Amino acid sequence: QKEVEQDPGPLSVPEGAIVSLNCTYSNSAFQYFMWYRQYSRKGPELLMYTYSSGNKEDGRFTAQVDKSSKYISLFIRDSQPSDSATYLCASPRKAGGTSYGKLTFGQGTILTVHP
């Protein structure tokens, strides 16, 4: 079982829709969670970064962590065609007391927003 699981989709929505992207994780030691956005043929870029449980909002994007159920979500409000990309969740892996920044990624969800 992968430590971070993500439904690869693909997910297709009309412009203006609310999008919900989700991941589950199995390692209780995970405390920090990130969402990356990756456009076609580009490297991933950091979108959101959260610690522990709760919500974090940045413009049209909201990241949510529920540690009790080991569930991570990214919500996109008023989705735009420019949001079409692959979205990856990630968390630092810990080994020997330090993670050295090593990240465990989900498989990524391909999102298409239609005009």
Contacting another protein within 46-85 (CB under 8 A): 46, 49, 51
> Which part of the chain contacts another protein (CB under 8 A), choosing from 10-18, 37-45, 55-63, 72-80?
37-45
Query: Which one of residues 6, 62, 64, 79 is an interface residue with another protein (CB under 8 A)?
Result: 6
User: Which residues are within 8 A (CB) of 27 and not within 5 positions of it... i.e. 6 or more apart?
Assistant: 3, 91, 93, 104
Tell me how far apart the alpha carbons of residues 76 and 19 are, in angstroms, rounded to a whole number: 5
Assess 28 for contact with another protein (CB under 8 A). Answer: no
Report how far residue 93's alpha carbon sits from residue 37's, in angstroms, rounded to the nearest whole number: 20
Report DSSP letters for 16-80, one per residue: T--EEEEEEE--TT--EEEEEEE-TTS--EEEEEEESSEEEEETTEEEEEETTTTEEEEEESS--
Confirm or reject binding of residue 42 to another protein (CB under 8 A).
Answer: yes
Q: Which of residues 22, 73, 84, 107 is near another protein by CB under 8 A? A: 107
Is 99 a binder of another protein (CB under 8 A)?
Answer: yes
13: DSSP letter:
E
Binding pattern for the stretch 79-98 against another protein, x by CB under 8 A and - elsewhere: ---------x-xxx-x---x
- Residues of this chain that interact with another protein (CB under 8 A) are 6, 8, 31-32, 34, 36, 41-46, 49, 51, 88, 90-92, 94, 98-103, 105-108
